[in-house]
Amino acid sequence: METTKCLIIGSGPAGYTAAIYASRANLSPVLYEGEQPGGQLTTTTEIENFPGYPDGIDGYEMMEQLRSQAKRFGADIRTGLVTSIDLSHRPFVATIDGGAATVAADAVIVATGASARYLGLDDEKKFRGRGVSACATCDGFFYRGKVVAVVGGGDTACEEATYLAGLASKVYMIVRKDYLRASKVMQERVRNTSNIEVLFNTNTVGLFGADAVEGAHLVRHKGTAEEEYFDIAIDGFFLAIGHTPNTAFLDGQLQLDDAGYIVTRGASQATSVPGVFAAGDVADPHYRQAVTAAGMGCKAALDVEKFLLADGH
């Protein structure tokens, strides 16, 4: 079986940064990119807050740059999804694409990120790809001149709403509380965009339409005396209500917190299994920024280097 000193699982800013550091430390890392090479940032628009890009940078372009930087130092970057991994003994054995290949690794960095959350309505499944989306930059193009809704009140929702406002004729934001959780600057952008209407204290009950989404059933002030049901006509329904960490393939072998994020030890990226490290959104319920993910990727690679040295590699 093929053996590597350092297996990196995931290809967002955490995975690629870990690959840059691990390559430069002569660990010859093997990195599997997963389902979405480049990770979540490839589906965002402009990244304005990553240091070193005073004019901002397109998310896809930034990930391409990180990828080619990792390759320049010799990282072995591969297409493929790690579908399971045995962490019960070392070397750890990872299964790729359900059995197409197996790789044994002395140390592992899990940088699998997080996936968009859905409300859990049956109608979301029914209309997935026919009006329901969790990625405005991927699908916004189809809604030029149409009416759409974005669910959520965080930075992602504000970012998606302002992006969609440039394409659609009107954007509703459906916000369950009476305030936006987003940062001040994003709230300001929403307020200053004339074709965004924020529906506060509002929840989605269902969607309707013949073949594709034609509208949403909403309720304002749910469960109170002022409770009010109403419908809006929309062509697109975009979810922006946060993410769930991608840990299913670990099958309970690493300690997770209550929300499903991998627990890391102290100031390091070490997990509950010696030799396994975690970096980026999969281990970060708090910050979830590209720059913090990259920082964790760096730390994880340095932790691997130290771990392998102590282990006699």
With CB under 6 A as the contact rule, the residue among 72, 144, 177, 265 that binds ligand NDP is: 177
Position 260 contacts ligand NDP (CB under 6 A): no
Q: CA 169, CA 153: separation in Å to the nearest integer?
A: 20
- Given the structure tokens 């309505």, which residue do they identify? 121
Residue nearest ligand NDP by beta-carbon distance: 154
For 89, phi then psi, to 5°, come to -155, 160
251 is catalytic: no
Closest to 255 measured CA to CA, from 127, 110, 92: 110
Question: Which listed range, 15-23, 28-36, 63-71, 154-162, lies at the site for ligand NDP (CB under 6 A)?
Answer: 154-162
Smaller CB distance to ligand NDP: residue 113 or 209?
A: 113
135 is catalytic: yes
Closest to 277 measured CA to CA, from 32, 109, 90, 113: 109
Smallest separation, CB 166 to ligand NDP (Å) = 16
Position 151 contacts ligand NDP (CB under 6 A): yes
139 is catalytic: yes
Q: CA 108, CA 30: separation in Å to the nearest integer?
A: 10
Smaller CB distance to ligand NDP: residue 95 or 115?
A: 115
Contact 105, 4 (CB under 8 A): yes
Q: CA 20, CA 72: separation in Å to the nearest integer?
A: 9
- The DSSP secondary-structure symbol of 261 reads P
With CB under 6 A as the contact rule, the residue among 156, 162, 247, 271 that binds ligand NDP is: 156
Position 56 contacts ligand NDP (CB under 6 A): no
Position 242 contacts ligand NDP (CB under 6 A): yes
Closest to 292 measured CA to CA, from 109, 80, 51: 51
Which residue is catalytic, options 106, 123, 139, 303?
A: 139
Smaller CB distance to ligand NDP: residue 159 or 303?
A: 159
Q: CA 217, CA 141: separation in Å to the nearest integer?
A: 24
Residues 104-133 that bind ligand NDP (CB under 6 A): 119
Smallest separation, CB 156 to ligand NDP (Å) = 3
For 108, phi then psi, to 5°, come to -130, 140
Residues forming the active site: 135, 138-139
Q: What is the binding site for ligand NDP (CB under 6 A)? A: 49, 119, 151-157, 159, 176-177, 181, 240-242, 288
